[in-house]
Amino acid sequence: MYKIAVIGTGYVGLTAAIGLANFGSTVLGLDIDAAKIELLKQGKMPIYEPGMQDLLDKNVAERRLVFSQDIESGIRWADIIFIGVGSPQGEDGRADLTALYNVAEIIGRNLDGYVIVVTKSTVPVGTNEKIYEIINEYNQGNFEFDVVSNPEFLREGKAMYDFLHPDRVVIGTKNPRPVEALKKIYRPLYLNEVPFIFTDLPTAEMIKYASNCFLAAKVAFINEMARVCDSVGANVQTVALTMGRDGRIGPKFLHPGPGYGGSCFPKDTQALAAIARDHNIATPLVDSTIQSNVFHKEYIVQKVVEAFDGKISGKRIAVLGLAFKAETDDIREASSLTIINRLLNQDAAVCVYDPQAMDNARQIWSDVIEYAGNEYEAIKGADGVVLLTEWNQFRNLDVAAMLDLMADKKFFDFRNIYQRNEVEALGAEYYGIGT
């Protein structure tokens, strides 16, 4: 059985570490973040992800999974090294690859025999080739190694499930040598007839960006349709559901909302646009997707402001949901950031509640906004309620009780969870997205 080191124990690295251990390999999770490794050594999860704690506990108890900060020893110990460090948005929208190149250097310096280096991080075309060159430079050609691009398609909140039940596994290589080892570590998937796509490095890198940009475009498109529906009096929910019945379109990623966010769509659309620019290729669809999403977030803000006749100064607004989607505590690039900041700029008072993202919110807004203990506490005395994240507990609000608590009964349901006629019958002024 293979000894696998996973460098970077963020969302992707930690999921891969637990998942690969669960598939039977011995896995060492490595990170430069001492606090994160300390938590993991104590068996605690550094992120909120349903179902992950049990698998962490199981694989640690069965001695297939350990964590360490000693990256150099980890590299020397491993047969296969997975890289799961971040590739955040850098200058001009380009992916910042500093962490990946640092890791490549440290791998090159510590290589003491053949190793397979597998990149899980989302990286622009050409990055794995560069990783190969850096490792070779610092290893001074002493030891053979292979570089594999194995992009990750997991969704936050369903990370463990997606890793264990992927729609496909992409393996990009320069030559066929590492393929058998990859098939072995992913054997439970391979046996389960999950499609494996074996290809070259640039194609594997491109598959990841193309997939994310297509999904982002789908969301941006239905949000545009929602804006049109708002103006012409059509119902986007029925439009989307009916479009989705067409097998060529499909029902997924056609849910209108407050604009896409998170750590992937915003940065990956920007990165793909930058890749194209660097190669003098025009990508007007990708560019428009980015622009459309920015516009949509401003449209949402306008909707709230206009409901108060353009004057929200002094109004009390309750925001339900801060995370960029349900089942995560992540608020990176979430619509809540744009909306709350715009409301604050116009001197509204904002009180928020999210079941998981309150700690992250405190780091951003400290005492500029109020933090409620639950949704009804947030709503108390509010002039408007803005629902941004589709948490299950917000799907089942006691709307009558909610309205009783409010000073002015404006309800902005930006996930289209409630039926306009039912909520209006209870005395609310209802605002959805394209409904």
Ligand X SMILES: O=c1ccn([C@@H]2O[C@H](COP(=O)(O)OP(=O)(O)O[C@H]3O[C@H](CO)[C@@H](O)[C@H](O)[C@H]3O)[C@@H](O)[C@H]2O)c(=O)[nH]1
Ligand Y SMILES: NC(=O)c1ccc[n+]([C@@H]2O[C@H](COP(=O)([O-])OP(=O)(O)OC[C@H]3O[C@@H](n4cnc5c(N)ncnc54)[C@H](O)[C@@H]3O)[C@@H](O)[C@H]2O)c1
Which residues fall in the annotated binding site?
A: 31, 36, 122, 153-156, 208, 253-257, 261, 267, 325, 332
* Least distance (Å) between residue 257 CB and ligand X: 3
Q: Does 9 bind ligand Y (CB under 6 A)?
A: yes
Q: Does 86 bind ligand Y (CB under 6 A)?
A: yes
DSSP state, residue 35: H
Q: Tell me which residue has tokens 């108890």.
A: 61
CA 375 to chain centre: 24
Of 154 and 337, nearer to ligand X (C-beta) is 154
Q: Tell me which residue has tokens 């349709």.
A: 225
The interface with ligand Y within residues 330-389 (CB under 6 A) comprises none
Among 2, 10, 198, 403, binds ligand Y (CB under 6 A): 10
Classified as helix, coil or strand, 80 is: strand
Give burial (CB, 10 Å; 0-12/13-18/19+) of 361. Answer: buried
Tell how many helices (H) and how many strands (E) occur in the chain.
19, 14
Q: Is residue 264 annotated as part of the catalytic site, yes or no?
A: yes
Of 300 and 322, nearer to ligand Y (C-beta) is 322
The interface with ligand Y within residues 15-74 (CB under 6 A) comprises 30-33, 36, 71
- For residues 185 and 169, what is the distance between their CA atoms, to the nearest angstrom? 12
Of 155 and 420, nearer to ligand X (C-beta) is 155
The interface with ligand Y within residues 405-424 (CB under 6 A) comprises none
- Among candidate residues 213, 229, 264, 351, the one labeled active-site is 264
Question: Is residue 66 within 8 Å of 60, Cβ to Cβ?
Answer: yes
Site string for ligand Y, 242-281 (x = CB under 6 A): ---------------------xx-----------------
The interface with ligand Y within residues 102-121 (CB under 6 A) comprises 102-103, 121
- For residues 303 and 433, what is the distance between their CA atoms, to the nearest angstrom? 9
How many other C-beta atoms lie within 10 A of the C-beta of residue 10?
17
Question: Is residue 34 within 8 Å of 12, Cβ to Cβ?
Answer: no
Of 212 and 293, nearer to ligand Y (C-beta) is 212
Q: Tell me which residue has tokens 């990508």.
A: 283
Q: Does 122 bind ligand Y (CB under 6 A)?
A: yes
Pairing state between β 3-7 and 26-30: parallel
Among ligand X, ligand Y, none, partner that 370 touches (CB below 5 to 8 angstroms by kind): none
Q: Does 8 bind ligand Y (CB under 6 A)?
A: yes
Among ligand Y, ligand X, none, partner that 212 touches (CB below 5 to 8 angstroms by kind): ligand X
Of 105 and 408, nearer to ligand Y (C-beta) is 105
Among 5, 6, 12, 16, binds ligand Y (CB under 6 A): 12
* Least distance (Å) between residue 316 CB and ligand Y: 34
Question: Is residue 185 within 8 Å of 23, Cβ to Cβ?
Answer: yes
- For residues 29 and 7, what is the distance between their CA atoms, to the nearest angstrom? 6
Pairing state between β 384-387 and 316-320: parallel
- For residues 359 and 362, what is the distance between their CA atoms, to the nearest angstrom? 5
Could you tell me where the DSSP H helices lie in 308-391?
335-345, 358-365, 375-379
Among 4, 6, 11, 315, binds ligand Y (CB under 6 A): 11
The interface with ligand Y within residues 141-160 (CB under 6 A) comprises 152, 154, 156
CA 277 to chain centre: 24
How many other C-beta atoms lie within 10 A of the C-beta of residue 58?
14
Of 157 and 178, nearer to ligand Y (C-beta) is 157
- For residues 294 and 261, what is the distance between their CA atoms, to the nearest angstrom? 10
Q: Does 85 bind ligand Y (CB under 6 A)?
A: yes
Annotated binding site for NAD(+): 31, 36, 122, 156, 267, 332
- Contact residues toward ligand X (CB under 6 A) are 122, 152-156, 212, 215, 219, 253-255, 257, 260-262, 264-265, 268, 324-325
Of 155 and 380, nearer to ligand X (C-beta) is 155
Catalytic residues: 264
* Interacting residue ranges for ligand Y, rule: CB under 6 A: 7-13, 30-33, 36, 71, 84-87, 99, 102-103, 121-122, 152, 154, 156, 263-264
